Structure 1
Amino acid sequence: MANQTVPQSAAAGPLDVGASPIGDIRDIRGPLHIPDPLAWLPYSAVGLVLLLASIWFWKWFRRQRNQREKLPFELALEQLERAKAFMKPETALRFSVMVSDAVRKYIDNRFKIEVTRHTTEEFMRRVAAEPSGEIKVYGDLLNGFLGHCDLAKFARYALSVKQMEEMLQSALHFVDATRPRPEDQKAGRKVEEGEPAVDKGMARKGPPLMTMWWGKGLGFISKKTAVPAGPEQHTAVAAGGR
């Protein structure tokens, strides 16, 4: 093989490294991060819970704002309505207890006179000492009414269906006759002493409606009726006695 000679100009000249294509090669990039498609689920769940909680709170606030507290006469009428289901001879005791409790709680809430923890005699003493004349007008009626309730509860006096109906009607009319009227509330007036608030068309003068009915024989137990004593007793309890 023949020896080849390099030209002197090429051998003696410097090597141009900068002109090499190696200088254009960049370094290797790091690994590419691919986000987890499920990583956003916890944040979305928290946001959904907050949204639902906000909607529930908004509805609850509106309901509480629009819902007013029931008045004493409304609560009494509801309890008296529930008592109708026990207007039977076999459930006469429970019926009398429910009617008596409804009237007592109504008086407690309406006139601010504590009745539920007092006997009928103690309650009547409280009524007599009250400065308000509205409740005093019905003093005799309440004394007889609650006394008859006590007979049914404690003396186990057997009530007929007719007597229970009259008892319920007496309680309903008492609650209706003494409940506050819208015209009195709007005008900001208080019922004059000795004059109970009654429906329009009912005269404010003269004896109350329930007193007239009771005097005409509406009372479900005659005051002259004697309740037989128990086997171990030898005395009779006068119904409605004071």
Structure 2
Amino acid sequence: MKNNGDGGGYFLMLLCNLYYKINYLRPHYLLLMFLSLLFAVYLDASVNVKATVDKNKVTIGDKIRYTIVIEHDAGIQVQFPELGGNLGEFEIKDYKIIGPKTKLYFSPLWFKKKVVTEYRYIITTFTTGEFKIPTSTITYSGDNGENKEIQSGEITVFVESVKPTDRDRDDIRDIKPPVGIPRGWFFYFCLIFIPLLLIGSGLGYLLYRQKKEVSFFGEDKKKPLPPHELAYERLEKLEAMGLIEQGKIKEYYIILSEIVRRYLEDRYKIPVLDRTTNELYRYLRQDTDMDRKHCSLLKEFLEECDLVKFAKYVPEEEIIKDDTSTARKIIDLTKPSI
């Protein structure tokens, strides 16, 4: 019991001694803590780098936003590396740089200015698996010009394939049938009305041309005149119509070439109206007694008429008169000799 009592008194004495020393040395401990805090603020990191992604688990082909934020003191020079070939399996689709901006930060003793620059990258990959975005090394230098480095740290991203649905199959599916187009009354109306309209327009044009031909050539067919005299009479009738003065040059040449063609048909008793210029030229040279020089003159005349009728060629008035004289000359050269 005595040993126990003496031991308890000794332990109590030690506690009293420790309490005295702590109370006596408390101001010194406070000063030491203050100096440590001040030193910690002074040694506060001058450059901070933070790298993040908006999602760590994506499907193949998805876009990921990869962001690097750099904070540093105003007097620090920072050199940011090019990331084009430093992203492993990822490729950069787009990027944007925000800043540099100046922000105020509160430290234990005062406010500090920091320069903040944010680098945003849109990256993607088309390979499945677990990939790491490598660390980016940022080089910086302070007032003393000494170069230092800081790293952003690597980030792990999981890339999955497109998840199959219940409708997906392992085998190749057959081609889907064509999608039908809804057919209402308007479809059938156009299907019937438009062809009828086109047919009616064609018939109307043919009747109009036939009527014009009848009005010009119909009456004089009944006259018992030789082909050349009838052709002369028609040429005079054409000139008296005043088509040139009215600006109807194409209509004038249509009738002019028709007069010559009808004359040749009556003169040589051959079908002329349905033949082209080249066909008529070859036929007259081979199967008639028409002189070759006269055939060449006829071909040049009909080709001139074709230019006006089909190629929208508008000759001058003197050329029109010359072509009319050529028509008379062809009739003069080919009419039967008395």
Which TM bucket (shorter chain)? 0.3 to 0.5
What TM-score results when the alignment is normalised by the length of structure 1?
0.44
What TM-score results when the alignment is normalised by the length of structure 2?
0.32
Report 1 or 2 for greater relative contact order, CA contacts < 8 Å, sequence distance ≥ 6: 1
Q: As a proportion of its length, which structure holds more strand? A: 2
**Based on CA coordinates, which of the two structures has the bigger radius of gyration?**
2
